[in-house]
Chains A and B, each alone.
Chain A
Amino acid sequence: MSRADVLVSAEWAEQNLNAPGVVFVEVDEDVSAYDKGHIPGAVKLDWRLDLQDPVRRDFVNKEQFEKLLSSRGIAGDDTVILYGGNNNWFAAYAYWYFKVYGHRSVKLLDGGRKKWELDGRTLDAETVTRDATTYQATEQDRSIRAFRDDVVAAIGAQNLVDVRSPDEFSGKLFAPAHLPQEQPYVAGHVPGATNVPWSKAANEDGTFKSDAELQELYGDLDDAKDTIAYCRIGERSSHTWFVLRELLGLKNVRNYDGSWTEYGSLVGVPVEREV
């Protein structure tokens, strides 16, 4: 795996906006961002409406995912270029999600929407329609998705990477500092977890740091062990999952999308807190 397999530059993207077999897909934290302006030809996925089950806290199921991608005009053999705001948080989440459902060719736009905007590249608000497809997904790949029992079993046995801010990790805060701190769960982290905030993997313009910088950043991880990344709801940890598995090539890296909102609500599991 090399960067060229999983990332495209803004320059490449601009030169391939109309390339056959290439579909640009925007996924934003701010779900209104796409509607104000998007990369020409890009379709939208709404992480709340499209990528979450409407009732349960879970993914949409295989049939729902197939229906979603079919309606967006995405075919199984298309190369999907994902991008979004917040340094590609939810684009990385969607990348991981596409991988869970077995999409063969999916890449991230390095730097996402931020890099595109900072470069002054074109955004438009034109409605994008694509001919519907008959998309077929695979069964979920559980080798890259961790559940709560996997995390509990990993304590003391696997690398656990907590990618939240140091204050969330220590237990000083329940949520990112700019959000309300009233939460129903306890604060802290999974015992033995290493705190490497996701933001350390990105440059100021949203692009990923160099391989050498990333290798130094995650140098404390034990190569001989499997790894689970988590944050609060699973999108910041998707960013780190992408770095660890797709850029650094670590084997057996799973993203725990239940993350701290689930773990911190479990009765009877061990928690560490430093404040």
Chain B
Amino acid sequence: MQSCADAGSSLPDGAALPGQTVLQGSVTTDGAPVSGAYVRLLDAGDEFVAEVVTPDTGDFRFFVAPGAWTLSALHRSGKARTTLQIDQPGTVDAALSLA
């Protein structure tokens, strides 16, 4: 049984499946990676889609389809939020800097 929210953990680094998009990046504060940040993926209607917790590297990764997506990060030291428009399949990089 596959889980609902592997958060891309089964996907090798840098690999995307044909026709699909990987949205990836890292959470930082003052340029340093943040572990234990809750990164949430929201769809065009601002609905919750998935959430992952960053490891020591601060990295996160989601599969998405082309469209408008919002990423938010929540950590006891701050928050971050960004919205992206993805027009075609591939790998898209995003950054979240806590403030």
**In this complex, what residue of B is CB-closest to A173?**
B65
A133 CA / B50 CA spacing, docked (Å): 38
A76 CA / B51 CA spacing, docked (Å): 34
Contacts of A87 in B (CB 8 A): 51
Q: Which of A85, A89, A114, A176 is the most central at the interface, judged by chain B CB atoms within 10 Å of its CB? A: A176
Does A179 lie within 8 Å of B63, measured CB to CB? yes
Does B43 lie within 8 Å of A29, measured CB to CB? no
Does B41 lie within 8 Å of A120, measured CB to CB? no
A242 CA / B5 CA spacing, docked (Å): 20
**In this complex, what residue of B is CB-closest to A236?**
B4
Does B2 lie within 8 Å of A233, measured CB to CB? yes
Q: List 23 A-B contacts (CB under 8 A).
A: A29-B3, A30-B9, A30-B53, A33-B53, A48-B3, A85-B53, A87-B51, A118-B75, A165-B48, A166-B47, A175-B4, A177-B50, A178-B5, A178-B7, A178-B8, A178-B62, A178-B64, A179-B5, A179-B63, A180-B20, A180-B63, A204-B74, A205-B74
**In this complex, what residue of A is CB-closest to B40?**
A204
Contacts of B9 in A (CB 8 A): 30
Question: Is A119 part of the contact surface with B, judged by Cβ < 8 Å?
Answer: yes
Contacts of A103 in B (CB 8 A): none
**Chain B contact residues (Cβ within 8 angstroms of A): what range?**
20 to 34
A173 CA / B47 CA spacing, docked (Å): 15
Does A180 lie within 8 Å of B17, measured CB to CB? yes
Contacts of A182 in B (CB 8 A): 17
A261 CA / B2 CA spacing, docked (Å): 10
A176-B5 in contact given A118-B74, A199-B47 (Cβ < 8 Å): yes
Contacts of A231 in B (CB 8 A): 4
Q: Which of A30, A181, A231 is the most central at the interface, judged by chain B CB atoms within 10 Å of its CB? A: A30
Not counting A175-B4, A176-B50, A179-B4, a sample of 20 additional A-B residue pairs whose C-beta atoms are within 8 angstroms of each other reads A29-B6, A30-B53, A86-B5, A114-B38, A117-B38, A117-B53, A119-B76, A165-B43, A166-B47, A176-B5, A177-B50, A178-B5, A178-B7, A178-B8, A178-B63, A180-B63, A181-B20, A181-B65, A204-B74, A261-B1
B9-51 vs A, CB cutoff 8 Å, 1 = contact: the mask equals 1000000010010000000000000001010010101011111
Residues of chain A whose beta carbon lies under 8 Å from any beta carbon of chain B: 29-30, 33, 47-48, 52, 57, 85-87, 89, 114, 117-120, 165-167, 173, 175-182, 197, 199, 204-205, 231-233, 235-236, 261
Residues of chain B whose beta carbon lies under 8 Å from any beta carbon of chain A: 1-9, 17, 20, 36, 38, 41, 43, 45, 47-51, 53, 62-65, 74-76
* Smallest CB-CB A-B distances: 7 pairs: A199-B48, A178-B62, A178-B50, A178-B63, A177-B49, A120-B76, A118-B76
A117 CA / B76 CA spacing, docked (Å): 8
**In this complex, what residue of B is CB-closest to A33?**
B53
A86 CA / B76 CA spacing, docked (Å): 17
A165 CA / B24 CA spacing, docked (Å): 21
Does A232 lie within 8 Å of B51, measured CB to CB? no
Q: Which of B4, B48, B53, B64 contacts A197 (CB 8 A)?
A: B48
How far does the Cβ of A73 sit from chain B's closest Cβ, in whole Å?
26
Does B5 lie within 8 Å of A29, measured CB to CB? yes
**In this complex, what residue of A is CB-closest to B41?**
A178
Contacts of B6 in A (CB 8 A): 29, 179
Contacts of B38 in A (CB 8 A): 114, 117-118
A177-B20 in contact given A86-B51, A204-B74 (Cβ < 8 Å): no
Does A233 lie within 8 Å of B53, measured CB to CB? no
